[in-house]
Structure 1
Amino acid sequence: MTTTDRPSSPDTATGTLPERLASVWAEFEERLTEVPILRRLQDGEVTLDDYQRLLHNLRQQVVDGSLWIARAASNFDMDHFDLRSAAMHHAVEEHRDHLLLERDFVAVGGSREGLLAGRKNIGSEALSGYMFHRSSQPNPIDCLGAMFIIEGLGARKALEWAERFQEVLGLADNQVHFMRYHQEADENHTGKLDAILTGDLIDDSAADAIVTCATVVARLYAMQLTELDRY
Structure 2
Amino acid sequence: MEQKAMEQKVMEQKVTTETGQACLQGLMRTWFEFERQLGRVPVIQRLERGQFTREDYRRLLLNLRQQVVEGARWITRCASSFDRDFADVRSEVIGHAKDEHRDYEILEQDYVAAGGDLAEIQQAQRNAGTEALHAFLMYRASQPNPVDLIGAMWIIEGLGQKMASDWAERVDQATDGDGSYTRFMRYHGENDDDHLDKLYGLIDRVCQSTEAQQSIIRTARVVARLYALQLEEVDHHG
Return the TM-score normalized by structure 2. Answer: 0.89
Asked if residue 220 in structure 1 is aligned to residue 231 in structure 2, the reply is no
Give the root-mean-square deviation of aligned CA atoms: 1.2
**Partner of 2:64 in structure 1?**
58
- Compute the displacement of 1:134 (Å): 0.3
Q: Is 1:142 aligned with 2:142? A: no
Residue pairs, 1:9-28, within 5 angstroms? 16-28=22-34
Counterpart of 1:153? 159
Inter-partner Cα distance in structure 2 for 1:81 and 1:91: 15
Q: Helix, strand or coil for the counterpart of 2:56?
A: helix
Give the residue type in structure 2 aligned to 1:78.
Answer: R
* Identity rate, percent: 45
Displacement after TM superposition at 1:28 (Å): 0.5
Distance 1:200 1:173 in 2: 39
Distance in 2 (CA, whole Å) between partners of 1:200 and 1:136 is 17
Q: Give the Cα separation in 2 of the matches to 1:200 and 1:145.
A: 11
| Corresponding residue to 1:133 among 125, 139, 155 | 139
Distance 1:53 1:26 in 2: 26
Q: How many corresponding residue pairs?
A: 217
Please state how far the C-alpha of 1:200 moved relative to its aligned partner: 6.2
Q: Report deviation, 1:184.
A: 1.5
CA separation in 1, counterparts of 2:202 and 2:36? 26
Q: Which stretches in structure 2 are left out of the alignment for 5+ residues? A: 1-20
Matches within 5 A, 1:7-46: 16-46=22-52
Aligned to 2:108: 102
Q: Matches of residues 121-200 of structure 1 in structure 2 within 5 Å?
A: 121-199=127-205
Counterpart of 2:14 in structure 1 is: none
Q: Give, in angstroms, the shift of residue 199 of structure 1.
A: 3.3
Question: How big is the shift at 1:140?
Answer: 0.6
- 2:180 aligns to what SS in structure 1? helix
TM-score by length of 1: 0.91
Shift of 1:110: 0.4
